[in-house]
Amino acid sequence: MNAPRPIRTPRELAEAGLLTPEQVGSVERVAERYAVAITPAMADLIDPSNPNDPIARQFVPDPAELVVTAEERSDPIGDLAHSPVEGIVHRYPDRVLLKAVHVCPVYCRFCFRREMVGPQGLGTLSPEAMDRAFAYIESHPEIWEVILTGGDPLVLSPRRLAEITERLARIYHVKVVRFHTRVPVVEPDKIGEDLIGALKASRKTTYVALHANHPRELTDDARAACGRLVDAGIVMISQSVLLKGVNDDPDTLASLMRAFVETRIKPYYLHHPDLAPGTSHFRLSVAEGQALVAGLRGRISGLCQPAYILDIPGGYGKAAIGAAAITQGRDGCYMVSDFHGQQHAYPPAPKE
């Protein structure tokens, strides 16, 4: 029997009961513009009888994606402005992104790189481009960390991943290698010994940043896959996007962050959604996001708290945008908010 394949077309979505026959035509127009893929693990999680299913909302194309608003941009976080050679983004002094591949196992409908990923995207780096990317890393001794992203680097075979990590092993000044991926959740069976060996072949400190947005994504299989990574000595952190209709309520966010910690994944970033084209139906206001994040404080353990982050449009980097817990009060005092929202005075330092 053949292994189940990912769903890649509107017709296959309808066959799986994830679209009605009437919806196929309008979704085909979306699929002409943006890539579609839903792995069997994610398709199985969707409740087709729920029109607001948070997993479906992340992966099933929606005609709303054809509405592009004035503030949206094809390169919302400004990768291209900081790309000295193909495949490298050097935005901060001590680290670079290495984008080896622009393919993903699933295509998220809110993706910030949706104009770059997929079959019509930037593809996989050629061997010559990879040589130039490595020459760049080798010639910049300030690069302490290399972050493999894309696309999803874990779509590469273990052999090709190991070629990359073994090259990184030979660069003395690189101390940390980080992979950004959705694979442990969307294709958990892929996390086997060969792949883990390839991730660790750099012999550097290895981090895996798991992208997941709803607690239901942390299935038993996903938790087991993450367990194999952590047991192998890989440190795991999370990144999520705050998405309207997916996780923009306190219970869902709290469950998601707890699920990470239960899986030995430290919650790291909760991203405000980027201004990617055709994604306005996912965006909530910064004030709504701040209120949700403030509500996590006191409600769930300090271990479960993510940093609420905005990637400043245009490539200016990340900014922490959680509401300030402390403000200037009277007579030099500060006013500090507790987790109920009540204010308390805190004295200035003796020489302030």
In 3D, which of 254, 297, 255, 291 has the Cα closest to residue 272?
291
Does 97 bind ligand SF4 (CB under 6 A)? Our answer is no
Site size with ligand SF4, rule: CB under 6 A:
10
Q: How far apart are CA 78 and CA 312, in angstroms?
A: 9
Query: From the candidates 109, 113, 178, 182, which is the catalytic residue?
Result: 113
Q: How far apart are CA 139 and CA 7, in angstroms?
A: 42
Closer to ligand SF4 by CB, 122 or 171: give it. 122
Closer to ligand SF4 by CB, 151 or 158: give it. 151
Q: How far apart are CA 265 and CA 269, in angstroms?
A: 12
113 catalytic residue (yes or no): yes
304 is in an annotated binding site: no
Query: From the candidates 53, 57, 99, 104, which is the catalytic residue?
Result: 104
Q: How far apart are CA 117 and CA 126, in angstroms?
A: 16
One symbol per residue from 184 to 213: x for binding ligand SF4 (CB under 6 A), - otherwise; what is it? Answer: ---------------------------x--
Output the CA torsion sign for 165, 169, 171, 172: positive
Query: From the candidates 34, 53, 91, 107, which is the catalytic residue?
Result: 91
- Report the residue from 121, 151, 158, 306 that binds ligand SF4 according to the rule CB under 6 A: 151
Q: If you search the block for the tokens 């469950």, which residue do you land on? A: 255
- Report the residue from 182, 204, 216, 283 that binds ligand SF4 according to the rule CB under 6 A: 182
Does 108 bind ligand SF4 (CB under 6 A)? Our answer is yes
Query: From the candidates 8, 11, 95, 175, which is the catalytic residue?
Result: 95
Closer to ligand SF4 by CB, 155 or 293: give it. 155
Q: Report the C-alpha dihedral over residues 37, 42, 45, 51, rounded to 10 degrees.
A: -30
Q: Report the C-alpha dihedral over residues 250, 252, 258, 261, rounded to 10 degrees.
A: -120
99 catalytic residue (yes or no): no
Helices and strands: H and E segment counts in the chain: 11, 12
- Residues involved in catalysis: 91-92, 95, 104, 108, 111, 113, 274, 311, 318
Residues forming the annotated binding site for [4Fe-4S] cluster?
104, 108, 111
